[in-house]
Amino acid sequence: MSYYISPRFLDKLSVHITKNYLTLPNVKVPLILGVHGRKGEGKTFQCELVYERMGVQVVSMSAGELESPDAGDPARLIRMRYREAADLVKVRGKMAVLMINDIDAGAGRVDQFTQYTVNTQLVNGTLMNIADNPTNVQLPGSYEIEPIQRIPIIVTGNDFGTLYAPLTRDGRMEKFFWEPDRNDRIGIVSGIFEADRVNRGDVEKLVDTFPTQAIDFFGAIRSRLYDEQVRNLIQKVGLDRISLRVVNSAEAPPEFNRPDFSLPHLIEVGRSLVGEQQRMSEMRLVEEYNATIGNRRLGEINMMPAPPTAPPVHTPTTSYNGQSSSTRLSPEMVSEVNSILGNGQRLGIEYVDDRRFRTNSWNCYGMFDRNGADAIAALESCLAEHSKDYVRLVGIANDPGGNCGADRHRVTETIIQRPGSRM
């Protein structure tokens, strides 16, 4: 089976890897290439295809190896893997790379509640030191005078904005934002369904039907089609005997007929997956679990003395439950708060910067139920702290029993502030 490699991806990785093995006159070459983009777009798989095409030896690390109960272990492991890649070049006579997958999951600070450990500091410091001295990477307790082979480092992740900023500066890390265009998506998806003999025209229509979905969505469609075959096998063998049939069985492995890969069936399965995505997005149970922490944080902020403010521009209005609202909010904002709470819904305040707005990755600032005064105070704080970000109000319906359970869903989402302007 031949898989599609994006020409842009192939060009970026091949140039970065090759130039790290060359001596360019008076040119400082960044050692690290950071491949970032939204989840599920095949960053790691495209890297593996490029390595295979170029015949590059790969030494891999995962985000889970960047933390340890013992301080210093992850940093030591990075040095060991780097030197291992250098030894591969010497022994096998081929180019090698050190690849760290999902680095932002192990070394990034996702929000204010992410714990920043000694190991995180050491990992950042070690990677910066290797980037600055790529031929002098020593192990603890030893020192070698002879320089080692320079090894390019490839890291992948979703949001490099969570990483330590000095690590991502241009002299150390070259950035490559991977966002496949339509031709890339059609080429990659054609490779996914190549063994199933799905013609290119159907692939194009399938991709155009789900233009906002990531690449792994189409792989999930293919996997879901075989669920029907597996279900038939279970029914044929029986639940009580399926384990004996598929594990250590003397019989030949089960054979499966070709599923229905017609375009209407592919679209039907895809829409069922989209429905599952929407239900997961509507639940947002993590907001309920973090509400206590978030409200405590808001309370601590509200206890601080308020800075001097300019004379009010808008006339005072009345918020839900008869509490006087601040004149720092426009009447439209106060009206939206009152409307949500007055309809018996929970009020959510969310914010996002301009870059994450394009991927719809909103952050929860706080959740409120019936208390209009606290909600308005929190909204004022959010607008003050995130004056350059998008801010929106979310109305969330409660279940008939009044508890936040499985029946809760979003009713309204209203953006009240955009960068550079307000509603």
Return the CATH number at 342: 3.30.190.10
**Among the three residues 245, 260, 281, which one is the final residue of a domain in this structure?**
281
Residues 16 and 165 placed together within one structural domain of the fold: yes
Report which of 354, 381, 387, 353 is spatially closest to residue 365, judged by C-alpha positions: 381
Written in H, E and C, the secondary structure of the chain is CCCCCCHHHHHHHHHHHHHCCCCCCCCCCCCEEEEECCCCCCHHHHHHHHHHHHCCEEEEECHHHHCCCCCCHHHHHHHHHHHHHHHHHHHHCCCEEEEECCHHHHHCCCCCCCCCCHHHHHHHHHHHHHHHCCCCCCCCCCCCCCCCCCCCEEEEECCHHHCCHHHHCCCCEEEEECCCCHHHHHHHHHHHCHHHCCCHHHHHHHHHHCCCCCHHHHHHHHHHHCHHHHHHHHHHHCCCCHHHHHCCCCCCCCCCCCCCCCHHHHHHHHHHHHHHHHHHHHHCHHHHHHHHHHHHHHHHHHCCCCCCCCCCCCCCCECHHHCECCCCCCHHHHHHHHHHHHCCCEEEEEEECHHHHCCCCCEEEEEECCCHHHHHHHHHHHHHHCCCCEEEEEEEECCCCCCCCCCCEEEEEEEEEECCEEC
Strand arrangement, sheet containing 421-422? 363-368, 346-352, 390-397, 409-418, 421-422
Residues 42 and 147 placed together within one structural domain of the fold: yes
Whole-structure pTM value: 0.65
Region of 72 (left: φ > 0; alpha: ψ -120 to 50; beta: rest) is: left
**1, part of any domain:** no
C-alpha 334/C-alpha 359 separation (Å) is 28
**378, part of any domain:** yes
C-alpha 336/C-alpha 357 separation (Å) is 21
Residues 211 and 315 placed together within one structural domain of the fold: no
**334, part of any domain:** yes
Query: Which residue in the block uniquely carries the two structure tokens 């499966």?
Result: 256
Query: Which residue in the block uniquely carries the two structure tokens 């025209």?
Result: 201
**169, part of any domain:** yes
How large a percentage of the chain has pLDDT more than 90? Answer: 46
Residues 33 and 170 placed together within one structural domain of the fold: yes
Residues 6 or more apart in contact with residue 285 via CB below 8 angstroms? none
* pLDDT at residue 214 greater than cutoff 70: yes
pLDDT value of residue 336: 85
Residues 81 and 99 placed together within one structural domain of the fold: yes
**Among the three residues 143, 160, 177, which one is the final residue of a domain in this structure?**
177
Whether residue 100 contacts residue 156, with contact meaning beta carbons closer than 8 Å, is answered with yes
**2, part of any domain:** no
- What does the pLDDT average to over 137-148? 86
**145, part of any domain:** yes
Residues 139 and 12 placed together within one structural domain of the fold: yes
- What does the pLDDT average to over 223-243? 90
**417, part of any domain:** yes
What confidence category does residue 316 fall into, taking pLDDT thresholds of 50, 70 and 90? very low
Residues 75 and 160 placed together within one structural domain of the fold: yes
Residues 390 and 363 placed together within one structural domain of the fold: yes
Residues 11 and 151 placed together within one structural domain of the fold: yes
CA 240, 246, 251, 255 dihedral sign is positive
Residue 88, number of CB atoms within 10 A of its CB: 20
Most confident of 113-122, 291-300, 311-320: 113-122
Whether residue 30 contacts residue 131, with contact meaning beta carbons closer than 8 Å, is answered with yes
State which residues form the domain around 76. 7-177
Q: How many domains does the chain have?
A: 3
Residues 253 and 140 placed together within one structural domain of the fold: no
Which residues on neighbouring strands pair with residue 422, listed in sequence order?
417
Residue 123, number of CB atoms within 10 A of its CB: 24
What confidence category does residue 291 fall into, taking pLDDT thresholds of 50, 70 and 90? low
C-alpha 208/C-alpha 231 separation (Å) is 30
How large a percentage of the chain has pLDDT more than 70? Answer: 84
The pLDDT mean for the chain works out to 84
Looking up residue 149, the CATH number of its domain turns out to be: 3.40.50.300
**In this structure, which amino acid lies at residue 314?**
H
**Among the three residues 121, 142, 177, which one is the final residue of a domain in this structure?**
177
pLDDT value of residue 324: 43
Whether residue 17 contacts residue 149, with contact meaning beta carbons closer than 8 Å, is answered with no
Whether residue 327 contacts residue 402, with contact meaning beta carbons closer than 8 Å, is answered with no
pLDDT value of residue 287: 60
Which residues on neighbouring strands pair with residue 366, listed in sequence order?
349
What confidence category does residue 1 fall into, taking pLDDT thresholds of 50, 70 and 90? low
* pLDDT at residue 321 greater than cutoff 60: no
- Does 87 or 141 have the greater pLDDT score? 87
**165, part of any domain:** yes
Q: φ, ψ for residue 258 (rounded to 5)?
A: -70, 120
What confidence category does residue 403 fall into, taking pLDDT thresholds of 50, 70 and 90? very low
Residues 27 and 165 placed together within one structural domain of the fold: yes
CA distance from start to end of the chain: 53
Q: Which of 88-92, 265-269, 305-309 has the lowest mean pLDDT?
A: 305-309
Residues 149 and 196 placed together within one structural domain of the fold: no
